[in-house]
Amino acid sequence: MQKLIVDKKFDNKKLSDFLYSNFSGLTKNTLYKAFRKKDIRINDIKINEDTIIHAGDSVTVFIIDELLFKNIDLEKVYEDENILIINKPNNIEVVGKDSVTSILEKEYSYVSPCHRLDRNTTGLLLFAKKEEALNILLDKFKSREIEKHYLAKVYGIPKKKSEKLTAYLFKDNKKAIVYISDTPKTGYVKIQTSYTVLEKHEKENYSILDVDLHTGKTHQIRAHLAHIGFPIIGDGKYGINEINKRFNCKVQQLCSYILKFNFVTDAGILNYLSKQEIKLFNN
């Protein structure tokens, strides 16, 4: 049994929308079966169909947890007593309810992410298993002593083999989107993104890029590459729908595939990681 209180976001909205938002594994079939059996109550009143809910309503769901939550197995790429690196799947947040972190917290007494990946970005995600390790790693990310490299499949082929891009980014929190400018503007922060062309596919007009972030802002890679005319294939927010359909791609083709520990200053209990490189795959 799960009991929830409706927040303002879902005031005057359908109950089904509220439930789908809160239960990652809930299917339409399971939900409507629960309606038929009157296994859902609003303010302790049994209901047998989808209905409108209001802020403050109490919703009780008599459905087993196995049908409410996704069962996600996380692939562990590297682990020792201080850190854990997993291969983050698509369509899951790093933190929050039903997130990578919440899944790992069921197994570890302490685990904390050292950086973030977008919900639909896959690949290497670094966690600290001790608070001391977390503080060191956050400091190393800040001083650029840890490199994150991404693979991006983009539409188009850059003329330059490699380039370091500089621009300015504005984050619109209300719209959950960022904007890029080539010149400084009020409210915009400076960003830098480097890419190297690894593969060219002229017939299909796409390329595979290695991308290195010098700054780590929200949606930076996706927005910056789209801004210079090379949108990531499958990206529903900054990409081109027509192109995504042409490639039959509904998932953004962006993956964190290399972590390099380039420590130049003391790293305490993590000194053994210096000069190590973790790759998601070897090709």
Task: Return the active site residues.
Answer: 118
Q: What is the 3-state secondary structure (H, E, C) of 20-54?
A: HHHCCCCCHHHHHHHHHCCCEEECCEEECCCCEEC
Residues 148, 150, 154: CA angle, nearest 5 degrees: 155
Neighbours of 56 (CB within 10 A): 11
User: Which amino acid is residue 124, in one-letter code?
Assistant: L
Q: Residue 233: which of 259, 255, 203, 214 has the closest Cα?
A: 255
Q: Residue 270: which of 85, 140, 120, 102 has the closest Cα?
A: 140
175 φ, ψ (degrees, to nearest 5): -95, -5
84 with 111: CB under 8 angstroms?
A: yes
Strand partners, 91: none
Q: Residue 194: which of 219, 157, 226, 221 has the closest Cα?
A: 221
Cα distance between the two ends of the chain = 47
What DSSP string describes 133-198? HHHHHHHHHHTT-EEEEEEEEEES--SSSEEEEEEEEEEETTTTEEEEESS--TT-EEEEEEEEEE
Strand partners, 76: 86
